[in-house]
A and B are shown apart, each in its own frame.
Chain A
Amino acid sequence: MTIITLSHGTAIILFCIGLYTIISKRNLFKTVIGLSLMESSVLLLIVAAGFVQGGRPPILPIEGIAVNPLPHAFTLTAIVIGASDLALALAFVIKLHQRYKTVDLDKIRGLRG
């Protein structure tokens, strides 16, 4: 099993764990953690896509063969996007806690039907 397969597998398992966290945990902070896990897993997948055996960082001068720089750029962008998402989610959680006095997701169900 090469390292690349391993990282792909890890990414997918992380994605599942993230989803499962969102489903199974009632604490809103844990939901946000689940989102964060999913984000990391996708980023891992993207970074792994740029892997080249024996590659060097894509900064000149390169000795030998460079890894794919494009996924790095994406990852940087996606990290920032994900971080903004999570920051906003946390802000909502804080606001919601002010109103409901709880972070239990199952009790936050004023809107239904």
Chain B
Amino acid sequence: MEILKFSFVFDKLSLSMAMLALFMAISISIFSLDYVEKKQAKERRFFVLSPWMFCVFSCMALFSGDWFFFGVFLEMSSIMLFFMILPLNFRTALYYLLTQLSGSLLVFVGAAIMIAERGSAAMGPVPPHLLWLFLSGLGIKTALLGLHFWLPKVHSEAPTPTSALLSGFSVKLGIYGLIRLASLPATDVLMVLGPSMALYGIIQAISQHDAKRLLAYHTISQLGYIVTAIGTGTALGIVAGVYHTVAHALFKGLLFLCIGSIEKAYGTRDLSLWGHGTARAFPVTFAFFLVGALAISGFPGMSGFASKAMIKASLKENSFYTVVWILQAANVGTVLSFCKLSYYGFFFKGDVVRKAPHYNPLLSYKKRIFQNTGMALLAFMTIFLGICPQLLPNFMGMNFGNFFETEALLSAIIPIFTGGILFIVFKKTLTPGKHKIYDLDFLLIKLYGILTLCPTIVAKIHTGKLRQYTIHVIIAALVIFFFLART
């Protein structure tokens, strides 16, 4: 039996992802200094230190040279995040842990079969008949369409730093796995899944009234972009995917931190209870939010613009024109829903005086130096990447010159305007209300009832009656007899 040996992989891909992990850990750790009150020293220390632990584990995952160790460290980073959700909400934490465990265990099964067949499970494309294992395993991590059921619930109910890490880096580990996986049969599947994820996420996001849940659906939609880029399978597409990964990590982390700090002030995530001049009460936070919102909409000069331009270019290179249109439509939806978020979240003054239950004006931004520093770091990087878009492609060894061309600029700005106009038209329809929005996790709750039937059925045979146990013995013996007699 072979011994476990850790093999390293050092290439530009892992390095750039690792740098991203480090950066996320720095900024979120700084943010967390203010997230927990100073009185709760233990919890505060935990929230400051655990992003670093997470960063260590994810870097190990990024540098590991085979699927087994990748799975190991993937799981360890999930467990770290599980501990970060735990103080707030045990049920969500458990839900997260179980989904992530099943994901990484599928990867393990795949790796085991691969080792059995080939002798090693080096990071890289896998045989086509194992693809379903790897795709579903990594898909749970990446929240591919159909396997995304855990993401909105967990992202919205986790503590703010954890949400930022989850959306910022945890799902990106799955993306990293998908990038390593990218070869022909896999890319076809991804090409189908990517655009549909982008659209599905947007459709769900527009109708949300829970601010964090809205952002969570945006994560799904942006992951759709990345998956699409990987789905092209070309070098340009992969660099574009990595670029958008980095960009998305930065701006989505930023957005989660902003929304989280406002949530903390209001004590609720319900958009319908926000508004009333939030922008005036929290000007710095609002500014950061604006940076994030512009970046996610792909406004020129922000990181989102550059990465989306690259994705579109890579799609056009392989003449996936339909997909480009789908992505543009998704972009319109993104703008629309961010208009909704910023309007109802920061400005809206309704007729009815609505007051959040735990509105705490003491939590103003002035005392929150670390919090703002953490967000500022992310915002700075977002803008920096937007201004110098060449940096990352050059680092990855790719020359991509035409960021600020007219066509690219136009294709970025037109969806923004369209979205803005659409929002003005449909403002009333988009008012956040208490309506129920159905997604897979509601189905899952229904399914849970059916799943609990299983143990009940098994428990039925444990009647405590010795006579029935004996009957089981006889039946088992007969089955074994018949089976052995046939061979």
Query: Do chains A and B directly touch (beta carbons under 8 Å) in the complex?
Result: yes
A interface with B by C-beta (< 8 Å): 19, 22-24, 26, 31, 105-106, 108-113
Contact between A109 and B474, CB atoms less than 8 A apart: no
Contact between B466 and A112, CB atoms less than 8 A apart: no
Contact flag A110-B467 (CB < 8 Å), given A19-B474, A23-B474: no
Which 8 A/B pairs are nearest by Cβ-Cβ distance?
A112-B464, A109-B464, A22-B470, A23-B470, A23-B467, A112-B462, A105-B466, A113-B462
Q: How many residues of B contact A (CB 8 A)?
A: 10
Q: Does B452 contact A (CB under 8 A)?
A: no
In the complex formed, the residue of B with least CB distance to A26 is B467
Contact between A22 and B467, CB atoms less than 8 A apart: yes
Contact of B467 among A105, A112, A113 (CB under 8 A): A105
Q: Does B459 contact A (CB under 8 A)?
A: yes
Q: Which residues of A contact B40 (CB under 8 A)?
A: none
Q: How far is the CA of A108 from the CA of B474 in the complex (A)?
A: 21
For this complex, 19 residue pairs linking A to B, each with C-beta atoms less than 8 Å apart, are: A22-B466, A22-B467, A22-B470, A23-B467, A24-B467, A26-B467, A31-B466, A105-B465, A105-B467, A106-B467, A108-B466, A109-B465, A110-B464, A111-B464, A112-B463, A112-B464, A113-B459, A113-B462, A113-B464
Mask: chain B, 456-487; 1 = CB below 8 Å from A; 0 = not: 00010011111100110010000000000000
Contact flag A106-B465 (CB < 8 Å), given A19-B470, A23-B470: yes
Q: Which residues of B contact A24 (CB under 8 A)?
A: 467
Q: Which residues of B contact A113 (CB under 8 A)?
A: 459, 462, 464
Q: Which residues of B contact A111 (CB under 8 A)?
A: 464
Q: Which residues of A contact B466 (CB under 8 A)?
A: 22, 31, 105, 108
In the complex formed, the residue of B with least CB distance to A24 is B467
In the complex formed, the residue of A with least CB distance to B463 is A112
Q: How far is the CA of A113 from the CA of B462 in the complex (A)?
A: 5
Q: Which residues of A contact B474 (CB under 8 A)?
A: 19, 23
In the complex formed, the residue of B with least CB distance to A31 is B466
In the complex, besides A23-B467, A109-B463, 19 extra interface pairs with C-beta distance below 8 angstroms are: A19-B470, A19-B474, A22-B466, A22-B467, A22-B470, A23-B471, A23-B474, A24-B467, A26-B467, A31-B466, A105-B466, A105-B467, A106-B465, A108-B466, A109-B465, A110-B464, A111-B464, A112-B462, A112-B463
Question: Which residue, B463, B466, B471, has most C-beta atoms of chain A within 10 A?
Answer: B466
